Structure 1
Amino acid sequence: MRKLLSLAVVLLPWPLKRWLLRRVWGYRIADDARIGLSYIFPGQLEMGSGARIGHFNVAIHLGRLECGEHSIIERGNWITGHAPDGAHFTHRTARDPALLLGAHAAITKSHIIDCTDRVEIGAFSTVAGYHSQIITHGIDIVAGRQDCKPISIGAYCLVGTRVTVLGGAVLPDRCVLGAGAVLNKPYLEEHALYAGQPAVRVKALPADAAYFHRAEGFVD
């Protein structure tokens, strides 16, 4: 019954949809936030002022989805995970199946984001282009079981098109991940370009670059 109601809610006008999402699901949605024609049903949802989720997105099997103020999830993104009470990954007792999107952060179009464990995208960061994969889980061939690790993308980062980011990876604040890169480990150095397969630090970036000091997320 709940799934049928969910499908019906997707098609409703936004004011009525928002009322039901607040009343029935208990979601915390700012008055000026908005969800388009998308199937967005995590365990918990919080959308700050001005946050927006566009059309044709799916977000399911998440413990929580947090969209900071003026953050954007554009269209055609598949965001999923493995529910907190799922049958797998029980050895990961601190697992947090969540997507946390900072203020003014953006996920553009047609990306796949696996939140079996936590994915954090910092304030003013952009997952740009198309067809990137952010994947927190995989197979541990030594233990012979599924495993997962969180992923962190820092603040004021720019993630290029068609990248792959794997569990345990960290992109530090104010960095660029080049198009087509595979980020598979944590890095610490800020103001840097990381690129390649696997990604490595390629060069330093100027600390005074305008992108790193924006007051609004949208780039003209």
Structure 2
Amino acid sequence: MIKKLFAFFMPWALKRRILNTWFGYEIHPSARIGFAWIFPKKLVMQERSKIAHFSIAIHLDHVKLGTYASIGRSNWITGFPTSSASRHFTHQQGKRKSELIIGDHSAITKNHHIDCTNSIILGKFVTIAGYRSQFLTHSINIEEGRQDSYPIHIGDYCFVGTNSVVLGGAKLPSYSVLGAKSLLNKAFEQQFALYAGVPAAFVKPLNKDAKYFTRQTGYIF
């Protein structure tokens, strides 16, 4: 904890060297972390990736940001590391990893809650848009009377609308949109589609030539 506090208040150039040396992180010289408490067991930040002010990432096995990937302000990212001595999730030993993997040019905007008790994988050119969305990989298994967890997968070039809820086991296929305030609680397969509702369902196909699906940079002007 003393090392974490010391690193937290250092200027970024020095802080990056401390994080890489003391904690074994792999942070590219062009990557950057703002005034944020980011201390997973393993952290990889590739070229031009960034984490903005006031975000928190703790109790995780692994966080990885691809090139130009970003986590915006005031996001709460937590999990349940596999090294824990707790009885929770012992039935999934060797079958889960508490991790957040963000692909190249993908972005989580701000004020979202990301529960990485199990894996959350965002593909390339993904936008987790707006505010107050929740990604929840764990819940209580009523039949078994225990905590259980399942991974979440968001494909390439996806757009997740504001204030949505995504539950463990859900999959949003590549080149798809999840409408605002939707509940995604299952795995879908059809690409180039709009899914929306509570629970989310297929609404309509999307234009394969839409510029969002063909862009070469993540940032949208």
User: What's the TM-score bracket when you normalise by the shorter of the two chains?
Assistant: over 0.9
Whether the aligned pair in 2 keeps the contact of 1:173 and 1:191 (CA below 8 Å) is: yes
Structure 1 segment 98-117 matched on structure 2, within 5 A: 98-117=99-118
Partner of 2:126: 125
Describe the SS at the equivalent of 2:35: coil
Partner of 1:202: 203
Give 5+ residue unaligned stretches, structure 2: none
Partner of 1:85: 83
Structure 1 segment 31-46 matched on structure 2, within 5 A: 31-46=29-44
- Matched to 2:90, the amino acid is T
Report the more deviating stretch, 4-13 or 64-73: 4-13
- Deviation for aligned residue 1:7: 2.2
**RMSD of aligned residue pairs (Cα, Å):** 0.6
Equivalent-residue separation in structure 2 for 1:84 and 1:214 (angstroms): 37
- Deviation for aligned residue 1:185: 0.4
The number of equivalent residue pairs is: 218
Partner of 1:167: 168
Equivalent-residue separation in structure 2 for 1:96 and 1:84 (angstroms): 6
Equivalent-residue separation in structure 1 for 2:2 and 2:168 (angstroms): 34
- Matched to 1:210, the amino acid is K
Describe the SS at the equivalent of 1:143: coil
Structure 1 segment 1-220 matched on structure 2, within 5 A: 3-86=1-84, 87=86, 88-93=88-93, 94-220=95-221
TM-score by length of 2: 0.98
Whether the aligned pair in 2 keeps the contact of 1:7 and 1:39 (CA below 8 Å) is: no
Whether the aligned pair in 2 keeps the contact of 1:123 and 1:154 (CA below 8 Å) is: yes
- Matched to 2:56, the amino acid is V
Describe the SS at the equivalent of 1:85: coil
- Deviation for aligned residue 1:12: 1.1
- Matched to 1:145, the amino acid is R
Equivalent-residue separation in structure 1 for 2:220 and 2:90 (angstroms): 42
- Matched to 1:179, the amino acid is A
Structure 1 stretches of 4+ with a deviation exceeding 4 A read none
Whether the aligned pair in 1 keeps the contact of 2:106 and 2:126 (CA below 8 Å) is: yes
Equivalent-residue separation in structure 1 for 2:67 and 2:9 (angstroms): 25
Whether the aligned pair in 1 keeps the contact of 2:62 and 2:98 (CA below 8 Å) is: yes
Whether the aligned pair in 1 keeps the contact of 2:81 and 2:97 (CA below 8 Å) is: no
Give 5+ residue unaligned stretches, structure 1: none
Equivalent-residue separation in structure 1 for 2:89 and 2:155 (angstroms): 26
Could you list the per-position Cα deviations for residues 77-105 of structure 1 after superposition, in whole angstroms to 9, with x for gaps in the alignment?
00000011221101112111000000000
Equivalent-residue separation in structure 2 for 1:199 and 1:11 (angstroms): 43
Whether the aligned pair in 2 keeps the contact of 1:181 and 1:196 (CA below 8 Å) is: yes
- Matched to 1:72, the amino acid is S
- Deviation for aligned residue 1:4: 2.5
| Percentage of identical aligned residues | 49
